[in-house]
């Protein structure tokens, strides 16, 4: 974490606004922003990385927003599992709209069929044990 001590506009590159950003650790570099006023300000505590070309990528840190997956989204931070869960959820919605399953059964449907897409260990040794009833899709 470092504190921003100065931000000086240095022009534009294509549609991006360039600015020279200096940190309290003595390092500085060129940052790019879609707007003339970036989301960060002088005095902000941020995390940053500086590449070999002198470009700075600034991340919000400390008390700011952090881009971490929400635990409320199925409690998983695995992106592939989240995508699989979304696909199964969409299928469950379609089945509920078609009257094949009840709206109240969507959650249990997602919990039951997400492992099929993610390749999780099967719950039964045989197909009949794993799928005690015929799948609705």
Contact 25, 8 (CB under 8 A): no
Q: How far apart are CA 14 and CA 27, in angstroms?
A: 25
- What is the structure's pLDDT at 64? 41
Q: What is the pLDDT of residues 53-70, one digit of tens each?
A: 888 998 875 544 333 344
What average pLDDT score do residues 72-84 get? 66
């Amino acid at each position: 974490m470092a504190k921003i001590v100065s931000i000086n506009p240095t022009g534009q590159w294509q549609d991006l606004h360039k600015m020279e950003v200096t940190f309290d650790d003595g390092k500085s570099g060129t940052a790019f922003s879609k707007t003339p006023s970036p989301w960060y300000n002088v005095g902000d505590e941020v995390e940053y990385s500086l590449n070999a070309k002198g470009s700075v990528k600034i991340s919000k840190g400390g008390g700011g927003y952090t881009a971490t997956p929400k635990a409320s989204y199925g409690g998983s931070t695995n992106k592939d599992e989240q995508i699989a869960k979304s696909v199964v959820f969409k299928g469950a919605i379609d089945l509920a709209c078609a009257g094949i399953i009840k709206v109240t059964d969507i959650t249990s449907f997602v919990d039951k069929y997400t492992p099929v897409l993610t390749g999780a260990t099967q719950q039964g040794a045989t197909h009949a044990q794993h799928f005690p009833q015929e799948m609705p899709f």
